[in-house]
């Protein structure tokens, strides 16, 4: 959510930003907010005037009663009551206008950074850099589920019976590999100076609307029936929500946090839940990194954060590339975003395994996350989030890039102390 002052003073700049995101249907909202904001401020001024007038007149009542001027006092009481009725009506209008303004402001997109490439959708995202040599072995690389099944590590048929499509059982060495990768990711980020958290896996609606757009919420979040609670789609939701309505002393910034959680997603409007695969699913686990910092430091942390993900994947011998998201592919709250994509030897292309986002002060403004400077002034913090690793999607890249011709899986040195072996063997019948 942008500052209302931008719409008051630079509505054309706000409209230009909307055009860069190819959301022309929202242009009319700017003029609507300008008009509503004008009425809101007029109503607020009227309310302040009525309160002051009522207070001033009310003071006369005691003096008139003391002088025995009961009739005059009663007349003043009636005048105060009339002012009270006017105030009540104006306060109701003020509240109504405030609600309408916030509702619209929540769907007007955040200002994108000037470095963001302009494009309509993810087809126009821009490759930034590659790390590691993409490699295709001289033997066929099977589909990831076939690799897992040969290792005795997955049961999708049983999950389909218990839960439907988009779920799975991991088992044996593949389940151990999954847990080991998460444990390594946790320790990797702790060694980078991030504090480890396990957050709540459910959050209230005011936190949901504080961390994401309505469109994202509808397409992602599972609602708990009869409760003001939603299952989180990523631990970023809980971790940013942790700071709701707080004032953080400037000297305590940046706040660098890394969190583990299961994640739950409806995947509405996605390319579809696979009947046989673990790329797009309803439930998975993830290690996330979150930074809350001063505005002037957010781009520094943006670069640092995605570099950590690149470094993590390279320690597991997985080639990756970074891809800058274009304006039309950015969610409304984001200032800038970059995807990390891993190489798939089977598909001979890269696919997304993580996303790093700078949200500027949008989440902080929605949730009331402020910073207190040394001079006593207050301002909104900047918030950032990035995926460290999200198995089982990451398992696809890991298994394909560490596959041996006999179907066994090589375990890179960085992971051996978690797996207690340098290889996963094919399960014998």
Q: Read off the pLDDT of each residue in 23-52 and give the average, rounded to a whole number.
A: 94
Burial status of residue 290 (CB atoms within 10 A of its CB: 0-12, 13-18, 19 or more): buried
User: Going by CATH, does the domain composed of 122-424 fall within 3.30.365.10?
Assistant: no
What CATH number was assigned to the domain covering residues 4-105?
Answer: 1.10.287.40
pLDDT digit string, tens, across residues 299-342: 999 999 999 999 999 999 999 999 999 999 999 999 999 999 99
In DSSP notation, 231-249 reads E-SSHHHHHHHTTTTEEEE
Task: Flag the least confident range among 20-24, 180-184, 213-217, 367-371.
Answer: 213-217
Residue 147 · residue 154 · CB < 8 Å: no
Nearest to 287 by CA among 197, 379, 395: 197
Residues 394 and 353 sit within 8 Å (Cβ to Cβ): yes
pLDDT tens-place string over residues 378-425: 999 999 999 999 988 899 999 999 999 999 999 999 999 999 999 999
- 428 pLDDT band, cuts 50/70/90, is confident
CA 35, CA 147: separation in Å to the nearest integer? 60
Residue spans in the chain of domains classed CATH 1.10.287.40:
4-105
Q: Residue 182: its pLDDT value, please?
A: 97
Structural contact between residues 37 and 2, judged by C-beta atoms closer than 8 angstroms:
no
Provide the 10 A C-beta neighbour count for residue 39.
15
In this predicted structure, what is the pLDDT of residue 64?
74
Q: Work out the number of other CB atoms within 10 angstroms of the CB of residue 128.
A: 12
Q: Quick check: 369 pLDDT over 60?
A: yes
Number of helical H runs and strand E runs in the chain: 14, 18
- Which pLDDT belongs to residue 397? 96
Q: What is the mean pLDDT of residues 76-97?
A: 89
Residue ranges of the chain that CATH labels 3.30.930.10: 122-424
Average pLDDT of the chain to the nearest whole number: 93
Residue that the structure tokens 């970023």 belong to: 236
The DSSP 8-state label assigned to residue 403 in this structure reads: B
pLDDT, tens only, 270-283: 455 555 778 888 99
Decide: 93 and 40 in contact? Cβ < 8 Å. Answer: no
pLDDT (0 to 100) of residue 273: 55
pLDDT number for residue 268: 55
Q: Which residues of 171-200 are buried (b: 16+ CB within 10 A; e: fewer)?
A: bebbebbbebbbbbbbebbeebebeebebb
Low-confidence winner among 24-33, 63-72, 123-132 (lowest mean pLDDT): 63-72
24 CB-contact burial (10 Å; exposed 0-12 / middle 13-18 / buried 19+): exposed
3/320 Cα distance (integer angstroms): 37
């Amino acid at each position: 959510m942008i500052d209302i002052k931008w719409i008051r003073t630079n509505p054309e700049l706000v409209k230009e930003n909307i055009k860069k995101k190819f959301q022309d249907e929202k242009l009319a909202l700017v003029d609507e907010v300008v008009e509503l904001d004008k009425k809101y401020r007029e109503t607020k001024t009227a309310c302040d005037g009525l309160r002051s007038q009522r207070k001033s007149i009310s003071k006369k009542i005691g003096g008139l009663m003391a002088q025995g001027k009961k009739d005059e006092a009663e007349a003043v009481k009636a005048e105060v009551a009339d002012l009270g009725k006017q105030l009540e009506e104006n306060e109701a209008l003020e509240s109504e206008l405030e609600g309408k303004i916030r509702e619209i402001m929540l769907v007007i997109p955040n200002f994108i950074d000037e470095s963001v490439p302009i494009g309509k959708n993810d087809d126009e995202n821009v490759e930034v850099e590659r790390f590691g040599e993409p490699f295709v072995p001289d033997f066929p690389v099977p589909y990831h589920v076939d690799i897992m099944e040969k290792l005795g590590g997955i049961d999708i048929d049983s999950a389909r019976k218990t839960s439907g499509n988009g779920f799975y059982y991991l088992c044996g060495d593949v389940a151990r590999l999954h847990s080991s990768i998460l444990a390594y990711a946790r320790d990797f980020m702790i060694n980078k100076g991030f504090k480890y958290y396990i957050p709540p896996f459910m959050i209230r609606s005011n936190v949901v609307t504080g961390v994401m757009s309505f469109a994202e919420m509808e397409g992602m979040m599972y609602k708990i029936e009869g409760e003001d609670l939603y299952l989180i789609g990523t631990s970023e939701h809980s971790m940013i929500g942790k700071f709701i309505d707080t004032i953080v002393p400037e000297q305590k910034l940046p706040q660098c946090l890394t969190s583990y959680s299961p994640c739950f997603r409806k995947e509405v409007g996605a390319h579809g839940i696979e009947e046989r695969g673990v790329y797009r699913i309803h439930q998975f686990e993830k290690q996330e990194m979150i930074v809350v910092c001063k505005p002037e430091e957010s781009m520094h942390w943006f670069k640092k954060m995605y570099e950590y993900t690149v470094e993590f994947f390279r320690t597991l011998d997985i080639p990756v590339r970074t891809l800058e998201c274009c304006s039309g592919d950015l969610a409304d709250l984001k200032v800038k975003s970059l995807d990390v994509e891993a190489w798939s030897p089977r598909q001979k292309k890269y696919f997304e395994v993580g996303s790093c986002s700078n949200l500027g002060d949008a989440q902080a403004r929605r949730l009331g996350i402020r910073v207190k400077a040394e001079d006593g002034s207050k301002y909104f913090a900047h918030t950032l989030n990035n995926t460290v690793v999200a198995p089982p999607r990451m398992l696809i890249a890991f298994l394909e890039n560490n596959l041996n011709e006999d179907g066994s899986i090589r375990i890179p040195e960085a992971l051996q102390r978690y797996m207690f072996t340098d290889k996963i063997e094919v399960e014998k019948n």
